[in-house]
Amino acid sequence: MTVGSTPNGALVTNIDEDLVESLIAEQFPQWSGLPVAQALPGGWDNRTFRLGDDLSVRLPSSSAYVLQVEKEQRWLPVLAPRLPLAIPEPVGIGHPADRFPHPWSVYRWLPGRPPETALIERDPMFAASLGEFLAALERVDAQDGPAPGVHNFFRGDSPAVYADETLSAIEVLGATIDASAVREVWEAAVETRWQGEPVWFHGDVSEGNLLVDEDGRLSAVIDFGTSGIGDPVCDLVIGVVTMRGAARQAFREHRALGADAWARARGWAMWKALVVAAGSAGSHSPESEARKARAAIDAIIEDHRMAQRGEV
């Protein structure tokens, strides 16, 4: 799930296999008759369906995510040949129709499965592979790339863009969190800014957007809806919240970013965790997401304290 400001526009609630079959028949008759099955997990910002053996269909669930369709169509073919792992390959763009008011995409199907949480937490080879992928993404020429904006909920900017949401969530959560430590993390995050030229980032490096092969090796990175150019620290969040021990160390070695960058990454992670824990972000599973968010808050504070002690 991508967390940003509350999505503008109502969710489209009737995105199902029947709708996809209808859209394909109307706009891509060459693929009409191919079996359609919802991919699981089905996604929140977008709904994904498998089309036959080799294709997938991805539909934005709200107008808040519509700008991502054209962005992915434009930039994924540019990024793909410059990256060491597979990413989605667009093969068609659908247009708004009577039953569905937004543009949508058809992609090549990417085989694989989401990694187990334990693999992300502990496997240094997985962490190194992900770090190498993100470093390669940063090296792609960023000229004319999409700057932070509503299309990606301002990822690539300073986490300070969400200061109001963050501070409000701290007040809502009150004594249920270590507010003093949370504020310390947040203040450290907003003290610095990215000083380099804008670089490419993914924007939502999370368990559901990574695929592994049968041997558990990272094989693909999907969902570039929040991608863009700017400060890449939003892609470090997984190294703050999820990775532990040797995996965390391997990831950091392959990212080769300084202490200020990791402080900003903790800020992005803290903002997201706080707004989810406070119930300020849309979710299909609010209680489960809130529990995970509270665990993330604790993990971010511990990462901050480890950095203070010089242990990371």
29 in any annotated domain: yes
Q: 158 and 192, same structural domain?
A: yes
Q: 94 and 141, same structural domain?
A: no
Reduce the DSSP state of residue 221 to 3 states and report it: strand
Q: 218 and 303, same structural domain?
A: yes
| Cα atoms in the Cβ-side hemisphere of radius 13 Å centred on 304 | 24
Q: Note down the domain range covering 56.
A: 17-108
Q: 143 and 99, same structural domain?
A: no
281 in any annotated domain: yes
Res 1 pLDDT > 50: no
Q: 156 and 33, same structural domain?
A: no
Reduce the DSSP state of residue 106 to 3 states and report it: strand
Q: Is the full-model pTM beyond 0.85?
A: yes
Q: 121 and 94, same structural domain?
A: no
Q: 194 and 92, same structural domain?
A: no
Contact indicator for 216, 124 with CB cutoff of 8 Å: no
CA dihedral 298, 268, 261, 87 (to 10 degrees): 110
Closest CA to 135 of 203, 205, 83, 86: 83
* Domains of the chain: total: 2
Q: 197 and 89, same structural domain?
A: no
CATH of the domain at 47: 3.30.200.20
Maximum Cα interatomic distance, the chain, rounded to a whole number of Å: 61
Given 77, 108, 139, the domain boundary residue is: 108
Res 4 pLDDT > 50: no
Q: 142 and 78, same structural domain?
A: no
Given 74, 108, 142, the domain boundary residue is: 108
11 in any annotated domain: no
6 in any annotated domain: no
8 in any annotated domain: no
Q: What is the pLDDT of residue 40?
A: 83
Given 88, 108, 128, the domain boundary residue is: 108
Report the 10 Å Cβ neighbour count for 288. 10
Q: 301 and 158, same structural domain?
A: yes
Contact indicator for 89, 73 with CB cutoff of 8 Å: no
The pLDDT tens digits of the residues spanning 47-63 come to 999 999 999 999 999 99
CA 138 to chain centre: 16
Q: 283 and 134, same structural domain?
A: yes
93 in any annotated domain: yes
The pLDDT tens digits of the residues spanning 156-175 come to 999 999 999 999 999 999 99
- Poorest-pLDDT segment among 32-41, 156-165, 219-228: 32-41
Res 289 pLDDT > 60: yes
Res 10 pLDDT > 80: no
Contact indicator for 34, 51 with CB cutoff of 8 Å: yes
CA-CA distance, 312 to 307, in Å (whole number)? 5
CATH of the domain at 277: 3.90.1200.10
Distinct helix (H) and strand (E) counts, the chain: 10, 9
CA dihedral 187, 193, 194, 198 (to 10 degrees): 120
Res 6 pLDDT > 50: no
